[in-house]
Amino acid sequence: MSTFAEILLNGVSLGSVYALIALGFVVIFRATEVVNFAHASLLLAGGYVTASLHDDLGFWPALLVGIAGAALVGAAVEFLVMRRYRGSDPSVLAIVTIGVDILLTTELTRRIGTDVLALGDPWGDAVLKVGPVSLAHTRIAAFVAAALLITAFLLVFRYTSWGVAMRAAAESAETAALMGVRLGRVSLGAWAVAGGLAAVAALFLTVFPTPGLERATSLAALKAFPAAILGGLDSTTGALVGGLLVGVTESLATGYQSDLTFLGRGLGDLAPYLVMVAILLVRPAGLFGTKELARV
């Protein structure tokens, strides 16, 4: 029972980090109707800046610079690239983000090389023991940070003019523009927010028990993609629920891998995608996604 509780708590913590990444996908999709395949490179950029600066600045200032740096990279991608294609079909814009991701990830992985970069976090390998259950301090910090950031985002989304403008753009971009909403600013803000969230997620994906930031870290963003899809790409609530579902599924599949050897190795990596496909077969728009209606 203690093993199950430990695996479940780790899964919830990991899922909260996936929810941060999934929220980045959702923010950009709601603002621009574009699936951002460059999100992995934003995550890698934030982690790389933090890892590069923590020796000189200290952990917390380096993290703030990393978040700001990833937000700037996101805003730059929107301003320099995506804005040039405004009005194009969303599927074309999605392909453009693939090109952006290849360029950014290639440059960042060239800089990282074969090194594994530590981010200088203050938690180290400390573990909290509550009876028979052990939980790393990094997992607790990840859950608390994700909960605070997601709550703050939902409040901003609900009560600020930027949030209202984003909701209006998500309902109908043309109507929002006619009503005076500046879609360029909404899109720019969405890319910046997504970059900042990705930088925080990069931190908690590369601290203990993970050895550090490496070339393959950007692949973690792909693990959060099922969370955004199965939750519903246009739903902030769906990002939260999808992230937790993927995290718990991955943690349980990995934790009980030894009892499921007949299914082969790497079940933890595969299980979230199996859950995504199963849910999409029943609800094609995701658990909380908006169903498209067509009059005939």
Mean pLDDT score, 86-112: 91
| Burial class for 79, CB neighbours closer than 10 Å (0-12, 13-18, 19+) | middle
Percent of all residues in the chain with a pLDDT value above 70, rounded to a whole number: 98
Rounded Cα gap, residues 193 and 162, in angstroms: 12
What are the structural domain ranges in the chain?
1-219
Are 151 and 84 contacting, i.e. CB atoms less than 8 angstroms apart?
A: no
Q: How sure is the predictor about 36, in pLDDT bands with cuts at 50, 70 and 90?
A: very high
User: For residues 61, 65, 68 and 73, what is the CA-based torsion angle, rounded to 10 degrees?
Assistant: -160
Rounded Cα gap, residues 107 and 88, in angstroms: 27
> Tens of pLDDT along 249-293?
999 998 888 887 777 778 888 888 898 899 999 988 888 887 765
> Tens of pLDDT along 109-131?
999 998 999 999 999 889 988 88
Are 142 and 13 contacting, i.e. CB atoms less than 8 angstroms apart?
A: yes
Which residues touch 35 (CB under 8 Å, ≥6 apart)?
25, 29, 90, 94, 97, 233
Rounded Cα gap, residues 195 and 149, in angstroms: 13
- Tokens representing 244? 């937790």
Rounded Cα gap, residues 21 and 149, in angstroms: 12
Report DSSP state, residue 75. H
Q: How sure is the predictor about 204, in pLDDT bands with cuts at 50, 70 and 90?
A: very high
- 23 vs 172, which has greater pLDDT? 23
